Amino acid sequence: MEQIGAKRTRLFIGVWTGFVVLMIYLPILCGALAGLSKSRYFGFPVKQFSTDWWARTISSLEIHTLVQNSLLIALVVTVVSVVFAFFGALAFARYEWKGRRLYQKLLLLPIFFPQPVLGLALLLWFNSVGISPSWQTAVIAHLVWIIPVVTLVIAIQVYGFDPVLEEAAADLGAGRLFILREITLPILWPGIWSGALFAFLLSWGNFPLSLYTAGADSTVPKWLYSKMVAGYTPMVPALGTMATLAAAVLLLVGGAAIALVRRRAARQV
């Protein structure tokens, strides 16, 4: 009786998970379809496919600027957030200090905060200190949300790290920089790279923070939104699909590279 019940549960969970995964990717597929159909307005079933809208999107100068902005923001956010988060994660998980519990919770607050409201609050703040919004302010806005996320990602790696290794090296007379370079960093690399990948991808896809804080500079998600509200062309789903594919490729390549780093790190220890 129990056996049959367990089997049925297993089947149910498998089917359910499959169904939910399908639902998650269904709208992305719909967008891909709309970007590849010939007609100006989407209709299903698609009567005629064409790559016209893709070609137009790729050759549009306006879109080149958007992609450059998005890439620039994502790159700066990645580098800065990883540096901050590396030390932030050590404070989160490695060192025992008095304010640690409070720090852990403070750090989570920006993640537990609705991004549109955060974006508007930042806009107000930039304005009252006299900074006019641009891609640089968007970087700051992204960082407020992404530094805590990356810190958590790296902290998970730090939890698995035995501080005895550092202490042993120090007892043997190694300097602090030497320990950082030869012991701490090699062990934490997989977490750091995962954090960097997360930072880049989250910044690349971020919409609510960019919407309010990028000012006159537009990013890919921001431009897509403005066209969804007014002025739809199939370039909208086409660019959306391209951005999605770019993220997928980066995730696959980056994920594979990190798995490699992780294996090498595991072999060293």
Partner 1 sequence: MADISLSAPLAKAEKRVIGLKIPAGLRCAGPVLLFLLLGFVAPLVTVVAYSFATPRSFDVFRSFTLENFAAIFDPANTVWMSFAWSIALAILTVIVLAVIAYPIAYGLNRLFGKWASLVSVLFVFPLFVSENVRLYGWVLFFIKNGVLDGTMKMLGFAGGPEVLFTPAIILFGMVYVYLPFMLFPITLGLAMVPRDLVDAASDLGANRLMIWREIELPLAMPGILIGMLLTFVLAAGAVAEAKILGGQSVIVITHDIEIAFTYAQNWPLGSALAVLLMLVISGLALFVMSKLDLDRILGRR
Question: Where in 102-141 is the site for partner 1 (CB under 8 A)?
Answer: 103-118, 120-125, 128, 140-141
Of 5-24, which residues contact partner 1 (CB under 8 A)?
5-6, 10, 12-14, 16-17, 20-21, 23-24
- Three-state SS for 148-217 is HHHHHHHHHHHHCCCHHHHHHHHHCCCCHHHHHHHHHHHHHHHHHHHHHHHHHHHHHHCCHHHHHHCCCC
Of 134-173, which residues contact partner 1 (CB under 8 A)?
140-141, 143-144, 147-148, 151-152, 155-156, 159-160
How many Å apart are CA 101 and CA 186, to the nearest integer? 27
Q: How far is the CB of 44 from partner 1 (least distance, A)?
A: 3
Return the number of the residue (54 or 225) whose C-beta is nearest partner 1: 225
237: preceding bond cis by omega (within 30 degrees): no
Backbone angles phi, psi at 42, to 5 degrees: -70, 135
Q: How far is the CB of 182 from partner 1 (least distance, A)?
A: 18
Q: What element of type H or E holds 146?
A: helix 135-159
Nearest alpha carbon to residue 90 among 171, 173, 179: 179
CB atoms within 10 A of CB 218: 22
Choosing from 98, 164, 172, 216, the residue that interacts with partner 1 (CB under 8 A) is 98
Return the number of the residue (217 or 240) whose C-beta is nearest partner 1: 240
Contact track, partner 1, 26-65, x by CB under 8 A: xxxxxx-xx------xxxxx--------------------
Choosing from 79, 248, 256, 257, the residue that interacts with partner 1 (CB under 8 A) is 248
Q: How far is the CB of 179 from partner 1 (least distance, A)?
A: 12
Q: How far is the CB of 110 from partner 1 (least distance, A)?
A: 5
Q: How far is the CB of 229 from partner 1 (least distance, A)?
A: 8
How many Å apart are CA 66 and CA 223, to the nearest integer? 8
3-state secondary structure (DSSP) of residue 54? helix
Q: How many residues make contact with partner 1 (CB under 8 A)?
A: 99
Choosing from 247, 261, 262, 265, the residue that interacts with partner 1 (CB under 8 A) is 247
Q: What is the DSSP letter of 99?
A: T
Q: How far is the CB of 150 from partner 1 (least distance, A)?
A: 10
How many Å apart are CA 113 and CA 177, to the nearest integer? 37
Of 190-209, which residues contact partner 1 (CB under 8 A)?
201-202, 204-208
Q: How far is the CB of 222 from partner 1 (least distance, A)?
A: 9
